[in-house]
């Protein structure tokens, strides 16, 4: 007797099983595609240079990349998923931005904030939506703009200093020339005195422009790497710099002495290194009293060459030592301007030495003079 129930069961299985297998395979493929999309998203997040954080609708963390953790000093080994952003970051400004996106349905918010550790951040926040445009969270993209802001501040300071330093001699020149043109000064001796002041201010103006151009050229050389470096004896460069300063030293009856421990060779750009030594000598002569002495001492110390230019001048307070190599920084502005200083000489020295992979330093005591150190690598 034929068992119709068994046959019916077999037929149902033959019909249903392929359908079930098809559905199972389709579902598996969908899950696989979702996993692939998740992996692609994670790969994109972790390869981005910007800090990225994605939250859910409750403000809990869904995704976070390493850059974001680094910016906010978070432990990269900790799992932050499903933890509230407010608890993890404890930064009210960011919580406020997330709440605006979630509750006030703001499309895009961009703000700059400053952290306790003085980091400055640019934050862009937007709605995180599905393909059907359904809101599922918040996307935060963070850039650390601390360095950019510092550079902008330096640029503004530099521009202000340049304007001030150029305006001072120009104002002086204009004032004296206007007085002469008005015919208010009839005494020939007084006229010559006014013209001498105008000439001195014009020379100072030219010195500032020349130093600015030198500094710009040195920086361009440093950035482009277009700089010829040859191995040579440093004594010849020092003597050439001394020769350029000799007339100024003679006018003040200052003796320049060179002390060297044998022949020393370094890899250098002779023209630039000569300029750096000249600037140090010129500085020492300017701020030394008459009939004093300026010394140049050179010796090999380990893997370095130490070049020291010292004087018996007024000396420099310790509080100025850290900033003395900055552009336009002057310890005594009135005296520096009186002596024709541009405020760029030591900054040029620092840039030239850095191009040579070296470093600079200063040691000075008020009333005992100053010593400027240049360290250059032997190899």
- 232 forms bridges with which residues in the sheet? 266
Query: Maximum CA pair distance of the chain?
Result: 147
pTM of the predicted model as reported, rounded to 2 decimal places? 0.56
* Average pLDDT in the chain: 80
Q: What is the pLDDT of residues 188-233, one digit of tens each?
A: 888 888 888 888 778 777 877 777 777 777 777 766 666 778 888 9
How far is residue 65 CA from its own chain's centroid?
A: 26
Q: What is the DSSP letter of 181?
A: H
- Give the Cα separation of 147 and 102 in Å (integer): 31
Residue 60: its pLDDT value, please? Answer: 92
Residue 330: its pLDDT value, please? Answer: 67
- Give the Cα separation of 373 and 376 in Å (integer): 10
- Give the Cα separation of 326 and 90 in Å (integer): 38
Residue ranges, the chain, pLDDT below 70:
1-47, 154, 157-162, 164-165, 222-226, 328, 330-342, 379
Q: What is the DSSP letter of 118?
A: S
Identify the residue whose tokens are 């009186």. Answer: 338
Q: What is the pLDDT of residues 276-319, one digit of tens each?
A: 898 899 888 888 888 889 999 998 888 889 999 998 888 888 88
């Amino acid at each position: 007797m034929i068992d119709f129930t068994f046959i019916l069961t077999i037929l149902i299985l033959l019909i249903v099983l392929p359908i079930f297998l098809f559905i199972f395979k389709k579902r598996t493929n969908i899950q696989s595609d979702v996993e692939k999309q998740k992996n692609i998203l994670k790969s994109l997040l972790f390869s981005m240079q910007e800090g990225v954080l994605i939250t859910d609708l409750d403000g809990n963390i869904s995704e976070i990349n390493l850059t974001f953790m680094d910016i906010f000093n978070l432990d990269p080994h900790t799992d932050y998923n499903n933890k509230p952003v407010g608890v993890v970051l404890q930064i009210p400004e960011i919580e406020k931005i997330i709440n605006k996106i979630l509750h006030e349905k703001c499309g895009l918010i961009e703000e700059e904030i400053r952290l306790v550790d003085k980091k400055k951040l640019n934050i862009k926040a937007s709605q995180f939506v599905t393909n059907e445009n359904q809101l599922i969270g918040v996307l935060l993209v963070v850039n650390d703009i601390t360095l950019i802001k510092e550079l902008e501040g330096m640029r503004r300071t530099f521009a202000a200093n340049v304007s001030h330093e150029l305006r001072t001699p120009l104002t002086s020149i204009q004032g004296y020339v206007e007085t002469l043109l008005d015919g208010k000064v009839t005494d020939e001796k007084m006229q010559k005195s006014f013209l001498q002041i105008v000439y001195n201010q014009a020379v100072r103006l030219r010195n500032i422009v020349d130093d600015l151009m030198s500094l710009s050229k040195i920086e361009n050389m440093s950035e482009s790497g277009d700089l010829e470096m040859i191995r040579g004896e440093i004594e010849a460069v020092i003597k050439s710099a001394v020769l350029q300063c000799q007339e100024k030293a003679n006018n003040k009856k200052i003796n320049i002495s060179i002390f060297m421990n044998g022949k020393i060779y370094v890899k250098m750009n002779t023209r630039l290194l000569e300029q750096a030594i000249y600037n140090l000598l010129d500085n020492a002569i300017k701020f030394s009293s008459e009939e004093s002495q300026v010394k140049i001492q050179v010796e090999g110390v380990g893997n370095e060459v130490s070049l020291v230019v010292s004087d018996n001048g007024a000396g420099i307070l310790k509080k100025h030592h850290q900033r003395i190599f900055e552009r336009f920084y002057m310890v005594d502005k009135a005296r520096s301007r009186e002596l024709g200083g541009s405020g760029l000489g030591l900054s040029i020295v620092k840039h030239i030495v850095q191009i040579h992979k070296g470093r600079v330093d200063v040691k000075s005591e008020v009333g005992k003079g100053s010593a400027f150190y240049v360290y250059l690598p032997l190899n």
